Structure 1
Amino acid sequence: MKEIAPNTPVIVGVGFYQNPTDDPAACPEPYEMMVEAVRDAAKDAGRPDLVTTIESISVEQGMWQYRNPGKLIAEAIGCPGARSVLADLGVLQLTPLFDLFAAIQAGEVSMGVVTGGEAKYRDLRAKITGTEVSNYQEPEDTPPPDVYHPTPDPFATQAESNAGIMMPVELFAVIESALRAEQGLDIESHRDQVAELYSEFSEIAAANPHAWNREPVAASDIRNPAGKNTMLAFPYTKKHNSQWNVNQSVAILVCSVERARALGLNESQWIYPVSAAQSRHVVCLAEQRALHTHPGTVVAGQRAYELAGISADNIVAADLYSCFPSAVQSFARDLKLKRNIPWTVTGSMAFAGGPYNHGALDGVARMVEVLREKAEGDAAPGYGLTSNLSGIFGKQAVAIFANKPGPRGYRYEDVTDSVAAIDKPVPSITEYDGPASVLGYTVVFHKDTITHGFVYGETPDGKRVVARSDNQEALKVMTQKEWVGETVTISDGKLFSIESAASVVNQ
């Protein structure tokens, strides 16, 4: 094998911190949790003193309001001159990591860290117990981050806003219905399949030392609403959803090969970024040509495989972004991943924990540990894949890692333009009366009661409409009989109706 280029990026350490205490006063605030994760990453690299020489600190924006969290962390760990980077909500969570890899390749820095942290469980417990907690308020003259990544991208169309669909669980449940129809599954078989998938994920979480919930959950307890496991947006119960009430942080420490060797770091623990591709082309769900598959994922995945010189068959483990089951399944479909490998190494955001805006980092960090284990006694490289989305599948990213250096080093490509050339939005309309063919739908619950439902439809002339119904009798039918491919009647551009529920259910 040829010599590794000195500016090749390599992950030398990963750090995790979580605090499950029920006492909110005993839990650190988010930036302090990130400090602990960064320190743990340096310890994992074999050199706790590395924290004082970190040159770049990238932070994923959370639910907190720090002005310059990278600077706060830098001062706490003793590297006040480190460059601070902040990525806003809506920026792909893998982007700061890709940017750090690029900066190391370009020789701009030789060591940096990407981190994220959230203390929403602390806030929840504070509310429940009546305990007052607060986060540090930086002075008003605090300088802004040295690098700031904003996102101006839309989250939804006007048609979706007018209909009132806005909660992620509702939107991803619509995608779930399209996946069900594409597979030709009936409603009950599909619910069984998704519940079994997530039960397997809960078992993976049980084996993950960093998981928030390490109790395996039976498929029936995920599938069927009971007690606190209420139905949210059909077919999703609460246990299908990302669990964001966590106190968790993570950090990924990256060096150039030259710097890592100069520091004497243990090469057997290094994990190599092999390839990465991302699409920042945004099409809102209502205007996507198909709800179950996404050109951005397909193109990014194909390019990541090509850059790495491998195929999907070479992947030994994956961590597919798991905010909801439809995200996992759509990624697996478009990336051609089979069920003979794990689709999560964390145990998913439903069980391992789904912090507000750094779940993809947890996937990478845990993948590092998994690939290290697979490297022991195996001469062939083990390849792991992680994925990430932003919005409602509006952007996509794919990264491939290996436990041994590859002959091509690390390669990256932004495929936004390629995706934009083929992924043209379908026009959506807000004023329409008439028939529409259902592309996807969901029925929304409050506790055990149906409250309303949504359909994404296509008009006879190929335009998109999004509509709502409050007819509980009709909506109940839509949880029993497949409605994708059926026709509804749209009125006022935002309401839908179906024929008599009694006649439909008896068909």
Structure 2
Amino acid sequence: MSVDPRTPVVVGVGQAAERIDDAGYRALSPVQLAAAAAQAALADCGAGAEQIASAIDAVVATRQFEISIPNAPAPLGKSNNFPRSVARLLGVDPARAVLDKVGGQGPQKLLTEFAAEIVAGAADVVLLCGSDATSTLRHFAKADNKPDFSETIDGQLEDRGYGLEEFVERYTVIHGLTGATVQYGLLENARRARLGLSKADYLQAMAELFAPMTKIAAKNPFSASPVERSVEELATVNAGNRMICDPYPRLLVARDQVNQGAAVLVMSIEAARRLGVPEDRWVYLHGHADMRSQRLLERPDLGAYPAAVTATTEALEMAGIGFDDIAAMDLYSCFPVPVFNICDAFGLSADDPRGLTLTGGLPFFGGAGNNYSMHAIAEAVASARSAPGQFTFVGANGGMMSKYAAGVYSSTPAPWKPDRSPELQAQADNTGPAVPVTESAQGAATIEAYSVRYDWETRTGIIIGRLDGDGTRFLATTEDEDLVALMSDADPLGAAVTVRALDYGNRCSLR
């Protein structure tokens, strides 16, 4: 099949990782981890790495944990221009450096975005990269003799900002929604409520979903925790698998203590030919889409993820296939609920023989912050090359089931096509119902969804409820002993409560 020479192809992928207990542990900085992954991606092209590096005209990076929140501490220091620091270690000076917003969907979104720029002639050879060294940062944070990762480098930088306003607001923060685990706990329990499952049955289902991933993580040399675990291990709460936020024990939560980097090289076919990249390294993006959800509290079904289903459906339709035609996949697995949503929509089971992850999943391979799906893309490209003509799928999730990017990959040549995401987003924004929210709630109410913060000094219940009077939705917290006991030890879904509005948020008690 003849395709336009401006068609984008992925030609190189690379990963890098180290663990604190490795014999050769070097305490690499985030810049060094990303650069090591980029060097691996250059070598993966199968052509002259130096020549290809010199042709890079854009370095595009995801954010590390320490630069994902304004004024966040960086105990070991940081670069003032992460993409250019990576470029300097590669010995290149690209015309453009980009630092993206926060969001786990970022790697797939960026690949789609810059593939389109290549088609339009705005770029030719693009390096996507990112990393996290949270394990090293925590290891040395209080040490007297610690490495210094500080770096100041001049040059252009397109800093797109944090983008936290897309899924963080004052109302949620003052009610304890200050981390991903508690927010996903609310969404998870909302799905359980819809299905009518007991706490024990739902915990078993979560463990059954994730246990097969541990087998893949155990064999992946880049895994942060390469340990195979049984369903029973994942579902048993004990000292080594303590509760973090209901309904999650530790082993069902994305592992953020990682030292990992990943990189992807994408270029035009014209550039690939000019640089001598063999065609057996070329992988095409057959389908792609990016969608965003409603504001968290306005979603009609808190446990559903229609944006992810729409993005996945669009990517598959672009590729002209169904999910049965996918040979391998990686579903973003920070917590079970986003995986369950894709499984629910497309009839997948926990024991699907294809597997639901290519890496080993975020709780086991590692949840490298905003850059996890760069690792998934690297594995998807390798999978597509190993089985010419077959399709691999990457589903990347961001925020609190807030943003979803999907990609379908194959070595089979295909022309570049724009997706219909803007049109589909407009339809969703204009037709999707929104639940009314009362910020200062008062009176009789019912618990719709909940979580319990075991990670706070005082065990605290977090509640999404509905006022009995008008059905509006609200957020509240509780330290009421009887209500917290019900939330921790029994099942509070549908429980009758009284909510009162205070100067700093709403509080609930049993009635």
Aligned mate of 2:307, from 267, 280, 296? 296
Question: How many angstroms apart in 2 are the aligned matches of 1:261 and 1:150?
Answer: 37
Aligned to 1:106: 120
Other structure's SS at 2:277 match: coil
| CA positional deviation for 1:480 | 4.7
Task: Label 1:152 to 1:162 Cα distance change in 2 as closer, same or farther (>3 A).
Answer: closer
Deviation at 1:411, TM superposition (A): 3.6
Matches within 5 A, 1:274-353: 274-280=286-292, 283-334=294-345, 337-339=348-350, 340=352, 341-353=354-366
Supply the distance in 2 between the matched residues of 1:187 and 1:25 (Cα, whole angstroms): 41
Q: What is the aligned residue count? A: 488
Offset of residue 479 of structure 1: 4.2
The 10-residue stretch of structure 1 (122-131 or 239-248) with the greater mean CA deviation from structure 2: 122-131
Amino acid at match of 1:291: L
Q: Deviations over 1:320-369 (max 9, x none)?
A: 11221222222433455454232211111111111122112111111112
In structure 2, what is the equivalent of residue 273 of structure 1?
285
Question: How do 1:129-148 residues align onto structure 2 when only pairs under 5 Å count?
Answer: 129-138=143-152, 142-146=154-158, 148=160
Q: Structure 1, residues 8-56: CA drift from partner, whole Å, max 9, x if none?
A: 1111111111121359993221112111111100111112222222121
Structure 2: distance between partners of 1:244 and 1:335: 29
User: 2:103 and 2:201 mapped to 1: Cα distance?
Assistant: 34
Give me the whole-angstrom Cα distance separating, in 2, the residues matched to 1:230 and 1:305.
39
Distance 1:174 1:498 in 2: 19
- Among candidates 433, 437, 450, match of residue 428 of structure 1: 437
Aligned CA distance change for structure 1 residues 491 and 219 (closer, same or farther; 3 Å):
same
Note the C-alpha offset of 1:200: 1.1
Q: Spell out, residue by residue over 1:94-138, the C-alpha distance to the aligned partner (whole angstroms, 9 max, x if none).
A: 222222111111122221110001111111111365432221320
What letter corresponds to residue 203 of structure 1 in structure 2? Answer: K
Would the aligned equivalents of 2:58 and 2:123 in 1 still touch at CA under 8 Å?
A: yes
Q: Which whole-Å deviations, capped at 9, do the CAs of 1:71-114 have from their partners, x for residues lacking one?
A: 22222212213421110224841222222111111122221110
- 1:177 is displaced (CA, Å) by 0.8
Which residues in structure 2 correspond to 1:217-228 (within 5 Å)? 217-228=229-240
What is aligned with 1:504?
none
Shift of 1:172: 0.3
Residue in 1 aligned with 2:70?
Answer: none
Does 1:405 pair with 2:374?
no
What is the alpha-carbon distance in structure 2 between the residues aligned to residue 74 and residue 212 of structure 1? 26
2:4 equivalent in structure 1: 5
- Please tell me whether the aligned partners of residues 6 and 258 of structure 1 are also in contact (alpha carbons under 8 angstroms): yes
1:320 touches 1:332 (CA, 8 Å); kept in 2? no
- Tell me if the contact between 1:284 and 1:392 (Cα under 8 Å) persists in the aligned partners: no
Q: Secondary structure at the match of 1:217?
A: coil
Q: Please identify, of 365-374 and 30-39, the stretch whose mean Cα deviation from structure 2 is larger.
A: 365-374
Moved more, 117-126 or 222-231: 222-231
> Displacement, 1:58?
0.4
Counterpart CA distance in 2 for 1:39 and 1:391 is: 30
Q: 1:26 to 1:234 in 2, by over 3 A?
A: same
Change (3 A) 1:451 1:401: same
Partner of 2:61: 59
Say whether residues 1:123 and 2:131 are aligned partners.
no
Q: CA deviation at 1:224?
A: 2.0
Question: 1:276·1:413 contact (CA, 8 Å) conserved in 2?
Answer: no
How many angstroms does 1:455 deviate by?
1.6
Could you tell me whether the CA contact under 8 Å between 2:60 and 2:127 is conserved in 1? yes
Q: Which amino acid aligns with 1:442?
A: S
Provide closer, same or farther for how the CA distance between residues 106 and 53 of structure 1 changes in structure 2, counting only shifts above 3 A: same
Match of residue 417 from structure 1: 426
Whether contact under 8 Å (2:104, 2:399) holds in the other structure is no
User: Post-superposition shift, 1:422?
Assistant: 2.7
3-state DSSP of counterpart to 1:363: helix
- Residue 296 and residue 158 in structure 1: after superposition, are their counterparts in 2 closer, same or farther (change >3 A)? same
Q: Which runs of 5+ in 1 are unaligned?
A: 376-380, 500-507
Query: Which residue identity lines up with residue 500 of structure 2 in the other structure?
Result: S
In 2, Cα distance between the equivalents of 1:446 and 1:147?
33
Q: How does 1:349-368 map to 2 (within 5 A)?
A: 349-368=362-381
Distance of aligned partners of 1:474 and 1:146 in 2 relative to their CA distance in 1, 3 Å threshold: closer
Aligned to 1:237: 249
Would the aligned equivalents of 1:231 and 1:445 in 2 still touch at CA under 8 Å? yes
Q: Greater shift after overlay, 436-445 or 30-39?
A: 436-445
1:152–1:240 CA distance, 2 compared to 1 (3 A): closer
Alignment check: 8 A CA contact 2:104 2:397 kept: no
1:206 matched to 2:215: no
Contact 2:103–2:397 (CA under 8 A) maintained in structure 1: no
Deviation, structure 1 residue 431: 1.8
- One-letter identity of the residue aligned with 2:210: Y
> Aligned match of 2:400 in 374, 381, 392?
392
Instruction: Please give the per-residue CA displacement for 1:223-253, whole angstroms capped at 9, x wherever unaligned.
Output: 2222232111112011111111111100011
- TM-score, normalised via structure 1 length: 0.89
Aligned to 1:503: none
Q: Verify the 8 A CA contact 1:196 1:219 in the aligned structure 2.
A: yes
Give the counterpart letter for 2:296 in structure 1.
L
Q: Report the alpha carbon displacement of residue 149 of structure 1 after superposing the two structures with TM.
A: 5.8
* Matching residue within 180, 184, 188 for 2:200: 188
Q: Deviation digits for residues 403-432 of structure 1, max 9, x if unmatched?
A: 3224x5444333332321233432321222
Deviates most, 328-337 or 120-129: 328-337
Distance verdict in 2 for CA 1:482–1:409, change over 3 Å: same
Partner-residue secondary structure (3-state), 1:117: strand
Does the Cα contact within 8 Å between 1:15 and 1:37 map onto a contact in 2? yes
What code does the residue aligned with 2:370 have? N
Q: Unaligned 5+ residue runs, structure 2?
A: 68-77
Partner deviation per Cα, 1:425-448 (whole Å, 9 max, x = no partner): 32321222223333211122149x
